[in-house]
Structure 1
Amino acid sequence: MTNLAQTPLSDRLRALIDTVQHNERTLRRFQDLELHLIGAQDFTSFLDTLFERLPREFTLTTVILWLDERAPMLHDLVAPDLPRRPGRHQLKTGHRTSEAGVHLCEEGRPWLGTAQEMGEAACGAFFGSDAPPASAIVLPLKTAGRITGYLCLGSDNAGRFAEGMATDILERFATVVNASLDNVAHRERLKQLGMTDPLTGLANRRYFDERLREETMRAARYALPVACLFIDIDGFKQINDTYGHPTGDRALVMVAACVRQQLRLGDTLARYGGEEFAVLLQGDARDARIVAERVRQAVSVLECFDDGGSRIVLTVSIGVSARNNMKRDDATTLGTALMEEADRAMYQAKRNGRNRVETLESEAQ
């Protein structure tokens, strides 16, 4: 009799303990994810945590992050040229998803339910042409009371996300996601400021030197050709002295934009200092000379005018250096050697009359 009376209570206690232990494990996994999000140093790491760790840890079929590209600090992160990830874990922008989120999350509250309850229009907005998950939760991301995004999690279990379930942990997680996103946006902005020339919008010398090191290491490892251009605006001091620094700045911006238009995808352009620009090319000396000549010609026909409407003639002198099939042992010093050679070739172009391209033929390998 006593045993029969105690069995149901024992089962309930065991079930309660199992539930508590399960919740503790779930909380620890969320806390681990939150630490990864908070510690993300860039947007790629942030997305890796959301799109790889999160679905793996919690057996989710779908993770969709929608961000409002109009929100402060988020514009650069969700630029149109940001690579889109294949599969069912994606970053989205666009008004259609925004409207679906507003419709589902009334008064900024989470929405939970099945695909049928979500509706065809909302399913299309969040999941596109992919088959929708059996159930989903849509969590608003808020900044200063304004919704700047939605996090949508999907499961193949129709009962996984259902109206009325406790959402405390998930809402807390959404808050951490939003705070982490803000941190990443600030980090990316600071990085951009530290690596970008504020006048021309080009990469600065610091960034170029880092890319030069990376590319020369890669070129040495895979026996690839690599080349540099060193570009200097002819008579730039005279332009500043004659027309003033605002006009000189305008000329710099025009030359920077012109050079960028002549380069190929994968080439690196930087304002190296003053009126000097540096270009890192994936190619040999012949390729580099073709690009350099294209740049020289394009700059020579630029329509730059002074405040009185008179045309200012702009030309550049360009030095070219290149290497083919260098040894790995050369990689640590190759970047410095390439820049020094391109610099000397540029000065040779100056001595030979300016508005020309020169290569130190004896040193090109």
Structure 2
Amino acid sequence: MTSSDPQAQVQELRRQLQSLLEAAKANERKLDRFDALERRLVAVGSMEELVNLLLVDCRADFNLDAAELWLLDPDEELRRALPALPMVKAPQLLDNHAPLKALFGAARTTRLVGAADAPLLAQAFGEGSPVRSAALLPLIRQGLLIGSLHFGSRDPERYDAESGTKFLDRLSAIAAIAIESMLNRERLRRAGMTDGLTGVHNRRYFDHRSLIEFSQAVRHRYPLACLFLDIDHFKAINDRHGHPAGDEVLRQVGGLIQRSLRTGDLAARYGGEEFVVLLPRTDLAGACEVAERIRLMVQEAPFVTPEGGTLSATLSVGLAMLPAQATSFAELLGAADRALYDAKRGGRNRTVADEAAGDAAAASP
């Protein structure tokens, strides 16, 4: 301020004050937006809601041109959970830390990058992206880098390297906590409905889900097939090869059953060496085909033991269709159990359909 004119000096001071007030108001509005986002992150109730909040709502609320979420998923937990979720935009799932190390190196701090870092922008947002400046936020929990959140803009001045990152650092910390919380919730949910040995659903989950499938089939009058599967001579496998080998057979049989089913079918370990499968909207011929496919896969599989050897196994299958006048799911389950008994009595390693299955199939519309 070099002017000696007092009035000019006052005007200049007013201009500077006005500029400071506008900057303060802008920061206050920014703080309010970040505060509202943090509250929503803390309150999310599902992984679907969390992902949509970070990738869709953030983009709209902060006037971004791009938003990306990378999540480390070496054990494919998220790959199993996310495909069924109706998300506008899905996160990128990483098998290892290499892409994250390429972005953050050893520093693992928020990075503001501009057009001069075009290769880094292309890596973060993909080749051909219109992004010209970006904020790259590391997601860290308990000292571990679990992912990254990327905000991008076409404006090359939006994320200037000299700008402060206080708000962004806080946001990345809250987002990391929310992601970890959702992952832990998903693990607990899966643990509560999954058999720890075989990876298929457990009896508790089956008892709940089967009543839903039964009521839907009765209400909408579509066929519902039930398979009871039992590994033949399983006690002899344990006695001859040891319980660890028996556990491996159970685990591998569970995997073969799961790979044989469609989305929407239900497989569960019912108890011991018994498995049960529900096939909604499947007629008798289709159910027989699934049962035989599973039986033959088990018959032909070399089951690998913990010692590296192999052994053979077979299973018997009882099949039943939802009775036309059924009043409870127990009727269908009981019919499949009786058919399994007939398969065992008939020589094992075979599929037997309950006598009423043909009548139920004929009565279906």
* TM-score scaled by length of structure 1: 0.78
Deviation at 1:49, TM superposition (A): 1.6
**Residue in structure 1 matching 2:64, options 44, 60, 66:** 60
Deviation at 1:126, TM superposition (A): 1.5
- Residues 130 and 246 (structure 1 numbering): CA distance in 2 closer, same or farther, change over 3 Å? same
* Alignment match, 2:3: none
Kept in 2: contact 1:219–1:226 (CA 8 A):
yes
One-letter identity of the residue aligned with 1:66: W
Deviation at 1:276, TM superposition (A): 0.8
One-letter identity of the residue aligned with 1:207: Y
- Residues 21 and 314 (structure 1 numbering): CA distance in 2 closer, same or farther, change over 3 Å? same
Deviation at 1:100, TM superposition (A): 4.0
Aligned length: 352
Distance between the aligned counterparts of 2:52 and 2:314, measured in 1? 46
Residue aligned with 1:60, SS? coil
User: Does residue 314 in structure 1 map to residue 316 in structure 2?
Assistant: no
Distance between the aligned counterparts of 1:107 and 1:247, measured in 2? 47
Distance between the aligned counterparts of 1:360 and 1:246, measured in 2? 34
One-letter identity of the residue aligned with 2:191: L
Deviation at 1:63, TM superposition (A): 1.0
Report matched runs for 1:93-108 at 5 Å: 93=94, 97-102=99-104, 107-108=107-108
Deviation at 1:270, TM superposition (A): 1.8
Report matched runs for 1:293-332 at 5 Å: 293-303=292-302, 314-323=313-322
User: Does residue 33 in structure 1 map to residue 37 in structure 2?
Assistant: yes
Residue aligned with 2:356, SS? coil
- Residues 15 and 343 (structure 1 numbering): CA distance in 2 closer, same or farther, change over 3 Å? farther
Deviation at 1:153, TM superposition (A): 0.1
* Alignment match, 1:341: 335
* Alignment match, 1:109: 109
**Residue in structure 1 matching 2:256, options 252, 255, 258:** 258
- Residues 42 and 17 (structure 1 numbering): CA distance in 2 closer, same or farther, change over 3 Å? same
Deviation at 1:354, TM superposition (A): 3.2
Distance between the aligned counterparts of 1:183 and 1:23, measured in 2? 30
* Alignment match, 1:292: 291
Kept in 1: contact 2:48–2:86 (CA 8 A):
no
- Residues 85 and 212 (structure 1 numbering): CA distance in 2 closer, same or farther, change over 3 Å? closer
One-letter identity of the residue aligned with 1:112: L
Distance between the aligned counterparts of 1:192 and 1:309, measured in 2? 30
Backbone CA RMSD of aligned residues:
4.0
Kept in 1: contact 2:51–2:87 (CA 8 A):
no
Deviation at 1:7, TM superposition (A): 7.2
Deviation at 1:223, TM superposition (A): 5.2
Distance between the aligned counterparts of 1:98 and 1:85, measured in 2? 26
Residue aligned with 1:136, SS? strand
Kept in 2: contact 1:101–1:150 (CA 8 A):
no
* Alignment match, 2:192: 194
Task: Single out whichever of 334-343 and 2-11 deviates more from structure 2.
Answer: 2-11
* Alignment match, 1:91: 92
Distance between the aligned counterparts of 1:182 and 1:315, measured in 2? 42
Distance between the aligned counterparts of 1:148 and 1:309, measured in 2? 34
* Alignment match, 1:276: 274
Task: Single out whichever of 130-139 and 56-65 deviates more from structure 2.
Answer: 130-139
- Residues 152 and 347 (structure 1 numbering): CA distance in 2 closer, same or farther, change over 3 Å? same
* Alignment match, 1:246: 244
Kept in 2: contact 1:63–1:88 (CA 8 A):
no
Residue aligned with 1:362, SS? helix
Residue aligned with 2:163, SS? coil
Residue aligned with 2:107, SS? helix
User: Does residue 43 in structure 1 map to residue 47 in structure 2?
Assistant: yes
One-letter identity of the residue aligned with 2:200: L
Deviation at 1:168, TM superposition (A): 0.8
Kept in 2: contact 1:319–1:342 (CA 8 A):
yes
Distance between the aligned counterparts of 1:36 and 1:140, measured in 2? 20
Report matched runs for 1:125-204 at 5 Å: 125-204=123-202
Deviation at 1:250, TM superposition (A): 3.3
Deviation at 1:13, TM superposition (A): 5.7
Unmatched tracts of structure 2, length 5 or more: 1-5
Q: Deviations over 1:146-173 (max 9, x none)?
A: 5333211012333321122222111100
Kept in 2: contact 1:134–1:158 (CA 8 A):
yes
Q: Deviations over 1:35-63 (max 9, x none)?
A: 33233344323212211221122121211
Deviation at 1:112, TM superposition (A): 1.9
One-letter identity of the residue aligned with 1:110: T
* Alignment match, 1:232: 230
Distance between the aligned counterparts of 2:117 and 2:90, measured in 1? 19
Distance between the aligned counterparts of 1:280 and 1:294, measured in 2? 15
Distance between the aligned counterparts of 1:60 and 1:334, measured in 2? 54
One-letter identity of the residue aligned with 2:340: M
One-letter identity of the residue aligned with 1:168: K
* Alignment match, 2:27: 23
Q: Deviations over 1:326-354 (max 9, x none)?
A: 89xx8xx6654433332233233334443
Q: Deviations over 1:17-74 (max 9, x none)?
A: 554444334323323322332333443232122112211221212111223345xxxx
- Residues 214 and 123 (structure 1 numbering): CA distance in 2 closer, same or farther, change over 3 Å? farther
Unmatched tracts of structure 1, length 5 or more: none
- Residues 284 and 28 (structure 1 numbering): CA distance in 2 closer, same or farther, change over 3 Å? farther
Kept in 2: contact 1:63–1:90 (CA 8 A):
no
Distance between the aligned counterparts of 2:312 and 2:40, measured in 1? 54
